[in-house]
Structure 1
Amino acid sequence: MAPTNGAYAMNRLAILSSFTSLLFTSLTTPASAAAIINRRDTAVSANDWDSVLKGDQGAGCADLAVIFARGTFDQGNLGPWVGGPFHDALISGASGINVAFQGVSTDDYPADLAGYIEEGGSNNCAKSLGSAVQTYSSHCPNAKIAVWGWSQGALCAHKSMGELGDAASKVIALGVFGDPISVWQDTVSFPSLPSSTTLLSYCEKTTPDPLCTDPTDDFPQSASAFIDRLVDIWKNVDQTHMNDAQKEAVGDLLVQLPKQAAGELGQLAKDIIGGHLRRWMLTPEHFWYGIDGTIKTAVDDLVRVYKG
């Protein structure tokens, strides 16, 4: 007799807990990663907007204020995969520009699988982000604001465009890494971009990110087997070009992915039948933007937009 979804999930979690300390060795990272990877661990949180968001009337204002929505399972309010490296790259690359960088509140946005798979990107994240932009813009009317997101955070960033109010005219850019919007547009209505906002979108195509390209892998067509396949891919991922924070995040993902997916196996089965399997393809290629050179390109593009 086949195990129930609950029994399956408990068995998988027990087995997977032993994986978190292993050194993984099979899939390869993008060829360019080795040449440009910064081995220094990055911050997983940034709170430069806090004094403004807390109502400090004496809080200073930046020239460029950036808010970032992290991806599913990410730690802190930026995460080690993309938000942290992008923060570091922007601070070092925006020479002569006073930058304030902020992550979306972890209290408002837990970056869990439910927000992604049940809502097409957390609605609370979008509201929190939009409210933060309005508050910052009200206190710092001369600041230029950029909204960024990766993975589920990209969906949150898109949704936040409908939560900006009068601050919409101050948002110069919407930047997204590994944007899954194409696999959600048939069921989720996303707001249009403000006329003043430039879309900056980055998708890994050399080693294709299946959330923003058409995948070529033949994934299993049952919910439990699909999760098994994802876990096996991550179990064998090459950690050579990851920093310590990212290696730790792999271990956490190996626990959180099957644990949180256990509560969504019914939805996964429906998505397989309904042709929405791509929504679930959280493969390693989706995590490379912080180590494959993309963040440097994104910084250059944002600075160009800022300078107008």
Structure 2
Amino acid sequence: MCATLKYAALYGFVVSLPLALASPILATAIINRQDAAVSANDWDPILIGEKNAQCSDLAVIFARGTFDKGNLGPWVGGPFRDALLKKSSDVKIAVQGVSPDDYPADLAGYTEEGGSDSCARGLGTAVQTYASRCPDSKIAIWGWSQGALCAHKAFGELGDAASNVIALGVFGDPISAWRDTVDYPAIPKGTALLSYCETLTPDPLCTNPAEDFPRGPVAFIERLKAIWREVDAVGMNAAQKKALAGLLIELPSQAMRQLDNLATDILNGHIRRWMLTPQHFWYGIDGKVETAADDLLSLYRGQR
């Protein structure tokens, strides 16, 4: 990434920090409820029982990735929502992100639980509520990164609402790096799995990585930092550039607090779980969200 872009992204993050520190409640409200680049709350009227709330044809709930802000995040959830809305003129769509109150999207939920358990419970509760009040709506559960693991886990929290779920969609799904230690629920036979992984410039979390990373935990984190310092930001939108500034701070900071877990995973051959390289963040940039939107809408239209 060129020095000018790197400076601009970091400057934007630093300028926004005093507001968040001075008024955390206000800042959270702004991020979670009003910023359309990182949040969607279309399910809220149904979830809170608002009088005359309209049910959708297709209700989509999205679990964001680690470090993402809002309830969708800018990297994948926001672009996926935009692609769905652009392509669904004949379908009434409602998009919702998993509440940050249920899911902080921090590194601890990923490294210690193999995907946040509270995220799965919150997602499952939202789906049950929506299905109970809109029994004719079709529902799709989606996630990216840690959110994909949350989406998998949510199938253990759906109860009878599982019959409304037509699809589980995942971007950069790390489940293959976690299956040997975490027991994820089976996907019901009536639910299609739509999975998207960056393979040309491979995403290590869903492929077998070729790059040789250091074997010591601190050296591993330093290698990740070096990779991200050199990333090219030209293809990013404004929200993603702002998120990059935060990522350059949050990734090494939170990883350093997880050194024991990282060292254990390196020792046990689970180093791939930690390879949060730029390729893992590209699904909202490389066209895969458009493909996924087409696939989901095709699936829905085939069931009408």
TM-score normalized by the length of structure 1: 0.87
Quote the Cα distance in structure 2 between the aligned partners of 1:121 and 1:139.
28
Using the alignment, how far apart are the partners of 2:296 and 2:91 within structure 1? 12
Amino acid at match of 1:106: P
Residue 224 (structure 1) aligns with:
218
Distance in 2 separating the partners of 1:290 and 1:18:
21
Q: CA deviation at 1:304?
A: 1.1
| 1:285 alignment counterpart | 279
1:97 corresponding residue in structure 2: 91
SS in structure 2 of the partner of residue 77 of structure 1: coil
**Who is 2:268 aligned against?**
274
- Matched residue, 1:127: 121
Match of 2:252 in 1: 258
How many residues are matched?
A: 275
* Counterpart residue number, 2:288: 294
Is 1:44 aligned with 2:38?
A: yes
- Structure 1: stretches of 5+ with no match in the other structure: 1-15, 23-40
The match for 1:152 among 136, 146, 151 is 146
Secondary structure at the aligned position of 2:283 is classed as helix
**Deviations along 1:155-178, whole A, 9 cap, x unmatched?**
000000111101000000000000
CA 186–82 in structure 1, closer or farther in 2 if over 3 Å, else same? same
Question: In the alignment, is the contact (CA less than 8 A) between 1:42 and 1:85 conserved in 2?
Answer: no
Matched AA of 1:306? Y
Residue 20 of structure 1, aligned match among 10, 28, 44:
10
* TM superposition shift of 1:42: 6.5
Q: What percent of counterpart residues are identical?
A: 66
Any conservation in 2 of the 1:104–1:125 contact (CA below 8 Å)?
yes
Structure 1 Cα separation of the partners of residues 7 and 89 of structure 2 = 44
Cα contact 1:120–1:184 (8 A) shared by 2: yes
CA-to-aligned-CA distance 1:15-59 (integer Å, 9 cap, x gap)? x9999349xxxxxxxxxxxxxxxxxx9620000001111122421
> Conserved in 1, the CA contact under 8 Å of 2:171 and 2:196?
yes
- What residue in structure 1 maps to residue 102 of structure 2? 108
1:95 Cα deviation after fit: 2.1
Q: Relative contact order, CA 8 A, sep 6+: which one is greater?
A: 1
Q: Does 1:53 align with 2:43?
A: no
Q: RMSD over aligned Cα, in angstroms?
A: 1.7
The aligned amino acid for 1:20 is L
Deviation at 1:196, TM superposition (A): 1.4
Structure 2, gaps ≥5 residues long: 1-5, 13-34
What secondary structure sits across from 1:66 in the alignment?
strand
Q: Give structure 1 regions of 4+ aligned residues with deviation exceeding 6 angstroms.
A: 16-19
Q: How is 1:244-255 mapped onto 2 (pairs within 5 angstroms)?
A: 244-255=238-249
Matched residue SS, 1:269? helix
Distance of aligned partners of 1:17 and 1:272 in 2 relative to their CA distance in 1, 3 Å threshold = farther
